[in-house]
Amino acid sequence: MEGLNLVSTFAEFKDQKNIDRATMMGVLEDVFLSQLKKMYSEDSDFDIIINIDKGDLQIFWNREVVEEVTNPMTEISFEDANKIDEYDLGEECSVEIKLSDFGRRGILNLRQSLSGRIMDIEKANLYNKYSTKVGDLFVGEVYQVWKREVVLRDDEGNDLILPKEEQIPGDFFRKGDTVRTIIKEVRFNNSNTPVIILSRTSTEFLARLFEQEVAEIFEGLITIKKIVRIPGERAKVAVESYDERIDPVGACVGVRGSRIHSIVRELRNENIDVIPWTNNKSLLITRALSPAKISSMTFNEEANQVNVYLKPSEVSLAVGKGGSNINLAGELVGYKLEIYRDDDGLEPEEDVLLTEFSDEIDMWIIEQLQKIGCDTAKSVLALSVEDIVKRADLEEETAIEVHKILRAEFED
């Protein structure tokens, strides 16, 4: 009965954890055999017969019938063997071992060993399941909401983690909500347990959403060449069509924005610019800085920098809120973009880094300007006082004083 209970318990565990029959049988036999070797001898020979479906367990200790015993773990005397049944010398005598023979401590060791092995299998199965799905969309239900993370559960009851830093600003979840994410990585914690990390801020998440909404991308007629984004604020997606009859931008946007709108809603109203990809660097920069209209540009390949000249009225459009447009455009094209007014009369070589003015301008002000993409004196002068106040969150008097100090640098 004790054997029945023990085997039945782990048979149920097998069903709950989706462990296949062959694996479970192998684990049970291995654990019992290991315990028997500890109790008897490594040389001992045992037969273990387990029927998981019925919960049956039988263990037989096999020894050779000999005239004189030299190793009691592998041999049994002719006299003792014939007390059990009729045997001839040289035959194998099998004696059944009851689970009660293991003793209380032995049974406890069996349970602990079995539990440990099953948990190891469960960890391995979890890792194998999700390590092959990194980069795939995952839709799950919110199970717990914590300050630093949200816990989602899959159909098998496994926990998946959506850390705070992988959530889009403005994300708000309640228990029971259905959430779309991407499987970012599978890593091990201190107890060697696989932890599945989800993300909503990665560029791959945006790519998977486009594949889901745009049939032409899913079918391979349109390819996403590159994505850059500031989660929850702005993104730029460069696309290319392999079929001249298909407009890649129009296909991604959809009729009256039907396709792009669902993605924008999922990303908490993130502003998405879809750009037709080109290998022409100048044309790609022009498209990336849209809606601003560029007057001209010069390349400095050695410094990996492009100086972009615009009319004063176009500067704020090119820079974008908090410098988001120019920063993302630079990431997309792979250059550092510097904005200049095409009528300010200043040559690029005359520009000066803002940090050179640290003796006249407080460092915290310089840092605020750098946050909006202004690293040089000329890039700040390209903005009006009003733009600086609004984008860098500075007082008007401070912005006027900064303009005054920087312009004095270029005056005779």
Q: Is the peptide bond before 291 cis (omega within 30 degrees of 0)?
A: yes
The CA-atom distances, in angstroms, between 391 and each of 127, 321, 323, 380, 388 are 46, 6, 8, 11, 5
Dihedral class, residue 256 (left if φ above 0, else alpha if ψ from -120 to 50, else beta): left
- Tell me if 202-277 shares its fold with 289-412: yes
CA–CA separation, 120 and 186 (whole Å): 16
Q: Which residues are 59's β-sheet partners?
A: 48, 97
Specify whether the CB–CB gap between 132 and 172 falls below 8 A: no
Each residue's pLDDT, cut to its tens digit, for the chain (412 residues) gives 344 455 555 555 555 556 777 777 778 888 888 888 888 888 888 888 877 666 677 888 899 889 888 888 888 899 888 888 888 898 999 888 887 777 788 778 878 888 788 888 888 888 999 999 999 999 999 999 999 999 999 988 889 999 999 999 989 999 999 999 999 999 988 878 899 999 999 999 999 999 999 999 999 999 999 999 999 999 999 999 988 889 999 999 998 888 999 999 999 999 999 999 999 999 999 999 988 889 888 998 888 999 998 888 788 888 888 888 999 999 999 999 988 877 554 444 467 888 888 889 999 998 888 777 677 788 888 888 888 888 788 899 999 999 998 888 877 5
Give the pLDDT score at 175. Answer: 94
Composition of the chain by helix, strand, coil, percent to 5: 45, 25, 30
CA–CA separation, 245 and 225 (whole Å): 19
Give the pLDDT score at 15. Answer: 55
Give the pLDDT score at 321. Answer: 82
Superfamily of domain 289-412, CATH level 4:
K homology (KH) domain (3.30.300.20)
E strand residue ranges, 189-270: 194-199, 222-230, 234-241
Q: Which three-class secondary structure state does DSSP give residue 231?
A: coil
Specify whether the CB–CB gap between 220 and 212 falls below 8 A: no
Residue type, 116: G
Q: Which two tokens stand for residue 30?
A: 């291995």
Give the pLDDT score at 14. Answer: 53
Give the pLDDT score at 86. Answer: 86
CA–CA separation, 204 and 200 (whole Å): 9
> Could you tell me which residues come within 8 angstroms of residue 92 by beta carbon, excluding any fewer than 6 positions away?
62, 63, 64, 65
Domain boundary assignment for the chain: 2-130, 134-200, 202-277, 289-412
Q: Which three-class secondary structure state does DSSP give residue 186?
A: strand
The CA-atom distances, in angstroms, between 389 and each of 172, 322, 323, 328 are 31, 11, 13, 22
Q: Which three-class secondary structure state does DSSP give residue 69?
A: coil
Q: Indicate the length of the chain as a whole number.
A: 412
Q: What is the CATH code of the structural domain delimited by 202-277?
A: 3.30.300.20
What single DSSP character describes residue 385?
A: H
Maximum distance among all Cα pairs of the chain, rounded to whole angstroms = 120
CA–CA separation, 145 and 126 (whole Å): 22
Exposure string (b/e) for 223-233, b if CB count within 10 Å is 16 or more?
Answer: ebbbbbbbbbb
Give the pLDDT score at 4. Answer: 44
Q: CB neighbours (10 Å) of residue 336?
A: 17
Q: Which three-class secondary structure state does DSSP give residue 321?
A: helix
> Could you tell me which residues come within 8 angstroms of residue 358 by beta carbon, excluding any fewer than 6 positions away?
366
Answer positive or negative: Cα dihedral of 386, 392, 398, 403.
Answer: negative
CA–CA separation, 47 and 45 (whole Å): 7
> What is the CA angle 79-84-85, rounded to 5?
90
> What is the CA angle 118-40-115, rounded to 5?
10
Q: What is the CATH code of the structural domain delimited by 134-200?
A: 2.40.50.140
In this structure, which CATH number among 3.30.1480, 1.10.287, 3.30.1460, 3.30.70 belongs to the domain 2-130?
A: 3.30.1480
Residue given tokens 């696989």 in the structure block: 194
Q: Which two tokens stand for residue 238?
A: 């460069």
